[in-house]
Structure 1
Amino acid sequence: MRPSTSVASENNLAVKRKKPFVSVQNIETGFVYIILIIFAAMYIIPFLWLLSGSLKTSSELFTHPPIWIPKQLQWSNFTTAFSEFPFLLYLKNTLIITFSTIIGAVFSNSLIAYGFSRIEWKFRDGVFILVLATLMLPFQVTMIPLFVLFKNFGWIGTYLPLIVPAFFGNPFFIFLLRQFFIGIPKELSESAKIDGASEFTIYWKIIMPLSKPILTTVVIFAFIGAWGDFIGPLIFLSDNKLYTLSLGIQQIMSENDPRWTLLMAVGVAMTLPVIIVFFVMQKYFIQGITFTGTKG
Structure 2
Amino acid sequence: MSKFQTTLRNAVLALGALVFLFPFYYMIIGSLQTKQDASLGGAFPHPSNLTGANYAAINDRINLFSGLLNSSIFTIGVLICTLIFGVLVGYALAVLQWRGRGVTFALALLVQVVPFQLLIIPLYVLITRTYGLGDNYLGMILPFAINSTAVIIFRQYFLQLPKELFEAARIDGAGEFKLLWGIALPLVRPALVTAALLTFIGPWNEFLWPFLITKNAAMQPLAVSLANYISNVAATAANPFGAILAGAVVLAAPVVILFIVFQRYFISTDVGSSVKG
**One-letter code of the match for 1:95?**
S
Q: 1:111 aligns with which of 75, 79, 88?
A: 88
> Following the alignment from structure 1 to structure 2, what is the Cα–Cα distance between the partners of residues 161 and 198?
35
Match of 1:230 in 2: 207
| 1:194-234 alpha-carbon deviations (Å, 9 max, x no partner) | 12111112112211121111100011111111111111211
Q: Is the 8 A contact 2:190 2:266 kept in 1?
A: yes
Q: 1:266 aligns with which of 228, 232, 247?
A: 247
- Unaligned stretches of 5+ residues in structure 2: 272-277
Q: Is the 8 A contact 1:159 1:237 kept in 2?
A: no
Q: Is the 8 A contact 1:108 1:166 kept in 2?
A: no
1:94 Cα deviation after fit = 0.9
Find the residue that maps to 1:196 and give its secondary structure. coil
1:85 Cα deviation after fit = 3.2
1:126 Cα deviation after fit = 2.3
Tell whether 2:102 aligns with 1:121: no
1:87 Cα deviation after fit = 0.9
Match of 1:55 in 2: 32
1:139 Cα deviation after fit = 0.8
Tell whether 2:42 aligns with 1:67: yes
> Following the alignment from structure 1 to structure 2, what is the Cα–Cα distance between the partners of residues 34 and 118?
46
Match of 2:224 in 1: 247
Aligned residues: 265
Superposed CA RMSD: 2.3
1:35 Cα deviation after fit = 5.7
Q: 1:98 aligns with which of 75, 87, 98?
A: 75
User: Superposition pairs for residues 138-153 of structure 1, below 5 Å?
Assistant: 138-151=115-128, 152-153=130-131
Q: 2:151 aligns with which of 162, 174, 181?
A: 174
Match of 2:133 in 1: 155
**One-letter code of the match for 2:73?**
I
Q: Return the TM-score normalized by structure 1.
A: 0.82
Classify 1:234/1:35 alpha carbon distance in 2 versus 1 (closer, same or farther; 3 Å): farther
Q: 1:282 aligns with which of 257, 263, 275?
A: 263
**One-letter code of the match for 2:45?**
P
| 1:17-55 alpha-carbon deviations (Å, 9 max, x no partner) | xxxxx96x954x666556645554443121111111011
> Following the alignment from structure 2 to structure 1, what is the Cα–Cα distance between the partners of residues 52 and 123?
43
Classify 1:202/1:70 alpha carbon distance in 2 versus 1 (closer, same or farther; 3 Å): same
- Structure 1 stretch displaced more, 236-245 or 260-269: 260-269
Find the residue that maps to 2:33 and give its secondary structure. coil
> Following the alignment from structure 2 to structure 1, what is the Cα–Cα distance between the partners of residues 7 and 118?
45
Find the residue that maps to 2:206 and give its secondary structure. coil
> Following the alignment from structure 2 to structure 1, what is the Cα–Cα distance between the partners of residues 119 and 17?
35
Q: Is the 8 A contact 2:95 2:158 kept in 1?
A: yes
Find the residue that maps to 2:227 and give its secondary structure. helix
Match of 2:143 in 1: 165
User: Superposition pairs for residues 170-209 of structure 1, below 5 Å?
Assistant: 170-209=147-186
- Structure 1 stretch displaced more, 81-90 or 119-128: 81-90
1:75 Cα deviation after fit = 2.4
User: Greater Rg, structure 1 or structure 2?
Assistant: 1
> Following the alignment from structure 1 to structure 2, what is the Cα–Cα distance between the partners of residues 30 and 121?
55
Match of 2:274 in 1: none
Q: Is the 8 A contact 1:55 1:70 kept in 2?
A: no
| 1:142-199 alpha-carbon deviations (Å, 9 max, x no partner) | 11121122121111221223212343x2111111111110001111111111121111
1:61 Cα deviation after fit = 2.3
Find the residue that maps to 2:154 and give its secondary structure. helix
Classify 1:153/1:85 alpha carbon distance in 2 versus 1 (closer, same or farther; 3 Å): closer
Classify 1:84/1:126 alpha carbon distance in 2 versus 1 (closer, same or farther; 3 Å): closer
User: Superposition pairs for residues 130-141 of structure 1, below 5 Å?
Assistant: 130-141=107-118
